[in-house]
Amino acid sequence: MDFALTEEQQMFQELFRDFAQNEVEPLADTIDREERPPLETLQKAAEMEFMGLPFAEECGGAGIGAIGYCLLVEELAKVCLATACSLGIHTSTGAMVINLGGTDEQKTKYLVPLAKGEKIAAFCLSEPDAGSDLSSVRATAVRENDHYVLNGSKTYVANGDIADVFTVFARLVPGPPEDGIAGFIVEKGYPGFKVGRTERTMGIRGCHVVQLFFDGCAVPAEGLLGGEEHGPGRGAEIVSQTQDFARLSMAATCLGAAEGAMEASVRFATDREQFGVPLAKKQAISWMIADMATEIEALRYLVYRTAWAFEQDEKYTRLAAMCKLFGSEVACRVANKAVQLHGGAGYIRDLPVERMYRDARVTRILEGTSEIQRFIIASDVFQEQDLLLEP
């Protein structure tokens, strides 16, 4: 098996690294401290054609595949997890759901400007009483003449305050059970649609999560994701496909976050002296670095393997859950070790590891909690053995 990056991928990796170090890292602390979205960085990313890397060129993207896209979010997350999440959520969920489930007309109208970075996307699934459990979705959609009327609310919507296009999932009412959940493309400014408060979060403070409210929001019938000719209740299928890619994206983000924390730790251990020698010469410290490096390398190949499976059009649901689960655990463990290695300095906001530690914690929650990932993995294992694991 060949795990080497192609020359083209190595070229893109260098380009992404330069962008992250020159454009993203200088603003990382300010974005966190001021709790503001990285709009100027996203605009520069759009100018560099980074906002639609995995999409086909005819859809406004760069067409460099999942591996190339993972290289981008990996480099961004090394220096600013909030920026990586803002761009990643735009691409891997808000835009990807249209790429996977949209009609040709919807791709032309919405995906092209999203892939070019002319507009920002948000993915709207979670509700106050519904997260990964689609059966608990309470937002409703009722067909009236030439439009659907949405009522309900969504919560924890990343990019919700800066987005122009929202992919919203709601329960069709009335309708037989098999119609289930449908997706809708909602534009900012539709009557009856309102953005609520921005939540105060522990970390990734530049990637805002907000509440959304739909009170008789009229969505044109052509805004039904996937179109009516394929049946209106394809939401669950489209959500599942989108979440697989989003989990791959989050795993690549975790990889970058862990690498950033380890690089900071190596620099500190080399520069800092205790008892007349650099910290790096202390066995306890060198073992911390060894553990970090080993887990990061294992995660790297799991992420790239999963991205390769996506590009080969293989079924990769289990792999996506595995790399998201393992990635979040690695990111949190490495960030925790980084703070410990820095001692008192790691607990002070003057150094980036304090921010890295706060930011990393969300990776165990975003795109499905670690518990959900374990259930997905175990269910797939049991199904492979012709056994069923009930929810």
Poorest-pLDDT segment among 45-59, 77-91, 268-282, 303-317: 268-282
Torsion angle, alpha carbons of 370, 375, 376, 377, to 10: 90
Model pLDDT for residues 159-207, shown as the tens digit of each residue? 999 999 999 999 988 765 545 889 999 999 999 999 999 999 999 999 9
Higher-confidence residue of 175 and 78: namely: 78
Average pLDDT over residues 75-96: 97
> Cα(374)–Cα(259) distance, rounded to whole angstroms?
24
Whose tokens are 């519904």? That residue is 130
Residue 237: CB atoms within 10 A of its CB come to 16
Fold of domain 122-233: Butyryl-CoA Dehydrogenase, subunit A; domain 2 (2.40.110)
Q: Above 60 in pLDDT, residue 156? A: yes
Average pLDDT over residues 318-347: 97
Model pLDDT for residues 358-379, shown as the tens digit of each residue? 999 999 999 999 999 999 999 9
Give the architecture-level CATH label for domain 237-384. Answer: Up-down Bundle (1.20)
Average pLDDT score over the chain: 93
* DSSP state for residue 173 in the 8-state scheme: S
CA atoms within 13 A on the CB side of 261: 36
- Sequence-ordered strand ranges (E) for the chain: 121-124, 140-144, 147-158, 165-172, 181-187, 193-198, 209-220, 273-274, 277-278
For 7-120, the fitting CATH number among 3.40.50.300, 1.10.3720.10, 1.10.10.10, 1.10.540.10 is: 1.10.540.10
> What's the gap between Cα 180 and its chain centre?
25
Known catalytic membership, residue 367: yes
Report residue 228's pLDDT band, with 50, 70 and 90 as the boundaries: confident
Average pLDDT over residues 28-38: 96
pLDDT value of position 389: 57
Q: Shortest CA distance to 316 belongs to which of 391, 253, 240, 258?
A: 240
* Domain map (residue ranges) of the chain: 7-120, 122-233, 237-384
Bridge partners for 372 per DSSP: none
Average pLDDT over residues 235-262: 96
Average pLDDT over residues 307-318: 95
What separation in angstroms does the CA of 49 have from each of 64, 164, 237, 252? 11, 18, 29, 19
Poorest-pLDDT segment among 92-96, 110-114, 170-174, 345-349: 170-174
What separation in angstroms does the CA of 359 have from each of 140, 183, 249, 291, 363? 34, 30, 16, 21, 8
CA angle 113, 238, 118 (to 5 degrees): 10
What sign does the dihedral 339-343-347-348 (CA atoms) show? negative
Residue of 367, 371, 384, 390 marked catalytic: 367
Report residue 276's pLDDT band, with 50, 70 and 90 as the boundaries: confident
Residues of the chain with pLDDT > 70: what percent? 96
Report residue 384's pLDDT band, with 50, 70 and 90 as the boundaries: confident
> Cα(344)–Cα(350) distance, rounded to whole angstroms?
11
CB of 67 closer than 8 Å to CB of 304:
yes
pLDDT value of position 109: 97
